[in-house]
């Protein structure tokens, strides 16, 4: 009961919820739970824990969503993070899990949620939060690492996408914004524009590339079908092109993608 | 008569493994005697951090230091957590595994803070029972660290050093003596740090921690973000003379400096092991603005 009381005092220091911490204490507790000291009152002692609880988790959220914090500015980001943490206290030992529900929270918290016309910048921050969290997951994901990268000499039937290869489609150029921020440039909130990107991990390092719609479709097919010939065939069908036309384009894409470590050799 | 340090080796002077220094350590192979890794940063990681830890563990002795065991919580032990910790330990083969005498949450919530326990017979029984279960599951002794505390409780009636002594007697666990934490807690909670250090079971101390703290006037925060203060070096000197050869680790978790600065601060421990403590300059405490205490450490995602 004592621990429930103390935890409630940390999670809800201003007692905004219906739970009165005092109700959590056994009747044997009379007066203060926390001792006063020669320098601080009991309340001041407890306040140190109350301040550090939220400050520490805010700090972790800011590291987990660093581009989003830059985009929103510290004050607004902190307001969102505080409210999110109040509604979703951590239940996992792994701090990487702390922001798992943040994108959903932002979607639910958007002020224009009921409006028919949505604010574009809010759509952008939701997309950016989604992208950042997924990158964190991809960075830590378990996957085969010891494979041979394909070269220009690898025969077509032996070309396979590297084990960690994710494709993203957003209504904004999220990848450009994120990469600019990470490379210490100062990106502005972009205008709405359909964007596609691929995230690869090789030798435990993430690489991010913009691709165009046709490439996105081709790589999506390749991930699903896991076979170049079948992918070319399906792609030709989807875009009403001949096999020869698609093969010619594929040769150009292939050369570039091999250079960028998209493929391993089977 | 118990075996000194539970029969575990005295590793010498070590550093906390921080992501900022990963490349430096791998490329320069600095002459550090051992490293301490935060268990939770690697337990669920199958990417670069875990790979780097494995590479470092091949070259240096490593110990695992946890922040989420929550040995004092009234929640049931989290065996999923312990399973992951055991799997990491089986892979990395640390010299030992440690955590803190604290609780981190209850009702499945994790505050990610090292919260203090009331220290009395009831909590001693509770902690000892759980230490025995953890040791049985992990198939290895557990080292528990004295946390920095910012509060004590009206229902506490056992001094922390006596609590730790009794805990080691009942469970055969080891101690990680954080000298900085003793100083921080003693200032915040009105006890004598010298009495504390003298009162510990010295043969059970397997490891020591050093770190910097933030003095805020009428209280101190354990920030791990600056150099060790002269008050802590003096306590370290006392502790080292009482304990003897050991494994000394400097923690630095905020405003992490370049590796060489971090290492040179650790190497001061060599000077301050000796009785006369040459060149010790009294620390002038500057800045009263409260910083965040840092028992946790998050590894950010990197892109090429």
Residue-wise pLDDT tens for chain B (304 aa)? Answer: 578 999 999 999 999 999 999 999 999 999 999 999 999 999 999 999 999 999 999 999 999 999 999 999 999 999 999 999 999 999 999 999 999 999 999 999 999 999 999 999 999 999 999 999 999 999 999 999 999 999 999 999 999 999 999 999 999 999 999 999 999 999 999 999 999 999 999 999 999 999 999 999 999 999 999 999 999 999 999 999 999 999 999 999 999 999 999 999 999 999 999 878 778 888 887 666 677 776 566 677 777 7
Domain over B4-271 is classified CATH 3.20.20.150: yes
Query: How close does chain B come to A175, measured CA to CA in Å?
Result: 12
d(CA A135, CA A236): 32
d(CA B176, CA B284): 28
Query: How close does chain B come to A117, measured CA to CA in Å?
Result: 35
Q: Shortest CB distance from A49 goes to which of B103, B150, B302? A: B150
- Say if the Cβ atoms of A29 and B155 lie within 8 Å: yes
Number of other CB atoms surrounding residue A15 within 10 Å: 12
Which candidate, B72, B94, B76, places its Cα nearest to that of B85? B94
Residue B196 phi/psi, 5° resolution?
A: -60, -55
Query: How close does chain B come to A94, measured CA to CA in Å?
Result: 6
ipTM over 0.90: yes
Q: Which residues contact A196 (CB under 8 A, 6 or more apart)?
A: A167, A168, A169, A210, A211, A212, A213, A215, A216
- CB distance B199 to B161 below 8 Å: yes
A residues 122-161 near B, CB within 8 Å? 132, 135-136, 138-143, 145
Q: Shortest CB distance from A140 goes to which of B45, B108, B292? A: B45
Q: Shortest CB distance from B110 goes to which of A35, A49, A93? A: A93
Burial of B131 (0-12, 13-18, 19+ CB in 10 A): buried
Q: Which helix (H) or strand (E) holds A83?
A: helix A74-87
Q: Which residues contact B160 (CB under 8 A, 6 or more apart)?
A: B101, B119, B146, B185, B191, B196
- CB distance B232 to B183 below 8 Å: yes
> What 3-state class would DSSP assign to A206?
strand
Asked if A260 reaches chain B (Cβ–Cβ under 8 Å), the answer is: no
Structure tokens at B128: 């000892």
Burial of A19 (0-12, 13-18, 19+ CB in 10 A): middle
Number of A–B residue contacts, CB under 8 Å: 153
Residue A174 phi/psi, 5° resolution?
A: -65, -45
- CB distance B236 to B269 below 8 Å: yes
Q: Which helix (H) or strand (E) holds A198?
A: strand A195-202
Q: What average pLDDT does range A130-158 have in this prediction?
A: 94
Q: Which helix (H) or strand (E) holds A51?
A: helix A42-64
- pLDDT, residue B300, reads 72
- CB distance B225 to B255 below 8 Å: yes
In chain A the domains, ranked by start, together with CATH numbers, are 34-122 (no CATH), 141-265 (3.90.930)
């Amino acid at each position: 009961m004592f621990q429930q009381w103390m935890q409630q005092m940390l999670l809800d220091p201003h007692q905004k919820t219906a739970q009165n911490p005092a109700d959590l204490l056994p009747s044997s507790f009379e007066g203060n739970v926390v001792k006063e000291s020669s320098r601080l009152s009991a309340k001041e002692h407890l306040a140190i824990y109350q301040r550090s609880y939220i400050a520490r988790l805010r700090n972790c959220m800011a590291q987990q969503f660093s581009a989003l914090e830059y985009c929103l500015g510290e004050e607004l980001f902190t307001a969102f993070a505080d409210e999110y943490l109040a509604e979703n206290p951590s239940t996992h030992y792994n701090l990487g899990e702390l922001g798992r529900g943040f994108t959903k929270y932002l979607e639910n918290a958007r002020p224009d949620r009921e409006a028919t016309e949505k604010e574009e910048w809010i759509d952008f921050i939701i997309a950016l939060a989604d992208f950042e969290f997924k990158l964190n997951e991809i960075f830590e994901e378990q996957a085969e690492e010891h494979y041979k990268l394909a070269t220009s000499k690898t025969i077509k039937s032996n070309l396979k996408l590297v084990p960690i290869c994710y494709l993203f489609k957003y209504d904004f150029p999220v990848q450009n914004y994120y990469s600019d921020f990470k490379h210490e440039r100062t990106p502005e909130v972009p205008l709405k524009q359909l964007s596609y990107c691929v995230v690869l991990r090789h030798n435990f390092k993430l690489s991010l590339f913009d691709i165009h719609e046709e490439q996105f479709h081709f790589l999506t097919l390749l991930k699903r079908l896991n076979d170049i010939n079948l992918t070319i065939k399906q792609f030709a069908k989807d875009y009403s092109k001949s096999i020869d036309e698609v093969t010619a384009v594929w040769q150009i894409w292939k050369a570039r993608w091999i250079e960028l470590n998209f493929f391993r050799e089977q | 008569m118990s075996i000194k340090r539970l029969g575990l080796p005295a590793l010498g002077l070590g550093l906390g493994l921080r992501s900022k220094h990963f490349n430096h350590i791998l490329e320069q192979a600095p002459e550090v005697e051992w490293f301490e890794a935060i268990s939770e940063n690697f337990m669920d990681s199958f990417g670069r951090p875990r790979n780097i830890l494995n590479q470092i563990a091949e070259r240096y002795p490593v110990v695992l230091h946890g922040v989420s065991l929550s040995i004092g919580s009234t929640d049931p032990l989290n065996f999923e957590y312990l399973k992951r910790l055991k799997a990491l330990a089986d892979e990395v083969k640390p010299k030992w595994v440690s955590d803190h005498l604290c609780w981190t949450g209850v009702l499945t919530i994790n505050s990610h803070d090292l919260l203090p326990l009331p220290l009395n017979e009831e909590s001693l029984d509770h902690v000892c029972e759980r230490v025995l279960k953890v040791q049985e599951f992990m198939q290895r002794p557990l080292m528990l660290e004295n946390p920095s505390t910012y509060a004590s409780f009206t229902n506490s009636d056992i001094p922390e050093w006596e609590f730790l002594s009794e805990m080691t007697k009942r469970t055969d666990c080891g101690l990680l003596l954080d000298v900085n934490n003793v100083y921080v807690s003693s200032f915040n909670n009105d006890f004598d740090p010298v009495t504390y250090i003298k009162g510990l079971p010295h043969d059970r101390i397997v490891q020591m921690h050093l770190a910097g703290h933030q003095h805020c006037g009428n209280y101190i925060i354990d920030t791990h973000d600056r150099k060790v203060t002269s008050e802590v070096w003096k306590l370290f000197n006392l502790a080292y003379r009482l304990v003897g050869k050991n494994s000394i680790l400097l923690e630095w978790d905020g405003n992490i400096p370049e590796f060489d600065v971090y290492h040179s601060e650790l190497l001061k421990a060599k000077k301050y092991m000796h009785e006369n403590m040459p060149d010790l300059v009294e620390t002038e405490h500057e800045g009263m603005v409260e910083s965040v205490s840092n028992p946790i450490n998050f590894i950010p995602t990197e892109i090429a």
